[in-house]
């Protein structure tokens, strides 16, 4: 991986994440580490994106990447249209429960998770395994922290959404939903 390119691309991530990095319980704190892991993973595997395009792993990779792109576009559109943000997309004033949000609580984080695994399948090296693992853990912690924030913001409505949806993958059973660091 080109360290200079990684450091250069990390600057905007750091600038955008700086306020959150000062609040370790916020979803933005964990999201910074997810973004950095995904950036490292993408740069690490940049040279193999189009090698053996019809191999099994490449096909799986492209399926994950297509699902990631579709889900990201779909979720952003829903948040803009139905979430009535007061500024940034994260400042929605209405809980969105239709479209992908009808089945999963975190379509945007799911899209990042699918992106990470799509890039991982480009080259399943030890370095890629570590980075996709770090990204996956960071995205899980991001989602858990955001759920605590959403419970405070939307209350019983969000509790009901948690009861009927999955975190990242529809139909995938998940551990019992709990708030993250609620009383810590």
Q: DSSP string of 79-141?
A: HHHHS--SSSTT--SS---SGGGGTBS-HHHHHHHHHHHHHHTT---HHHHHHHHHHHHHHHH
Q: What's the rounded mean pLDDT across residues 41-61? A: 93
- For residue 91, what pLDDT is reported? 86
Q: How many domains does the chain have?
A: 1
* Residue 178 belongs to some domain of the structure: no
Model confidence at 103: pLDDT above 60: yes
pLDDT at 176 over 70: no
Residue 180 lies in a domain: no
- Position 95 in a domain: yes
pLDDT at residue 154 in the model? 96
Average pLDDT estimate for 111-140: 98
Interval 153-169 mean pLDDT: 96
Q: List Cβ neighbours of 146 (8 Å cut-off, separation of 6 or more).
A: 27, 106, 109
> If you average pLDDT over every residue of the chain, what do you get?
92
User: What is the rounded average pLDDT of the residues 20-42?
Assistant: 96
Range of the domain at 20: 3-164
Question: What is the pLDDT at residue 183?
Answer: 43
Report the C-alpha dihedral over residues 118, 124, 126, 129, rounded to 10 degrees. Answer: 30
> Is 183 a member of any domain?
no
């Amino acid at each position: 991986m080109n360290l200079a390119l990684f450091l250069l691309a990390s600057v905007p991530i750091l600038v955008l994440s700086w306020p959150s990095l000062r609040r370790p319980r916020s979803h933005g704190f964990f999201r910074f580490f997810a973004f950095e892991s995904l950036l490292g993973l993408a740069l690490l595997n940049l040279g193999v994106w189009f090698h053996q395009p019809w191999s099994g792993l490449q096909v799986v990779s492209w399926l994950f990447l297509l699902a990631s792109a579709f889900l990201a576009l779909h979720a952003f559109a829903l948040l803009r249209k139905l979430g009535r943000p007061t500024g940034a997309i994260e400042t929605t004033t209405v809980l969105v429960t239709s479209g992908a949000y009808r089945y999963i609580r975190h379509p945007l984080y799911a899209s990042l998770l699918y992106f990470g695994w799509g890039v991982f399948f480009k080259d399943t090296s030890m370095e890629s395994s570590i980075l996709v693992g770090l990204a996956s853990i960071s995205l899980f912690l991001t989602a858990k922290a955001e759920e605590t924030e959403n419970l405070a913001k939307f209350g019983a409505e969000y509790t009901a959404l948690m009861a009927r949806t999955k975190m990242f993958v529809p139909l995938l059973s998940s551990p019992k939903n709990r708030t993250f660091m609620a009383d810590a």
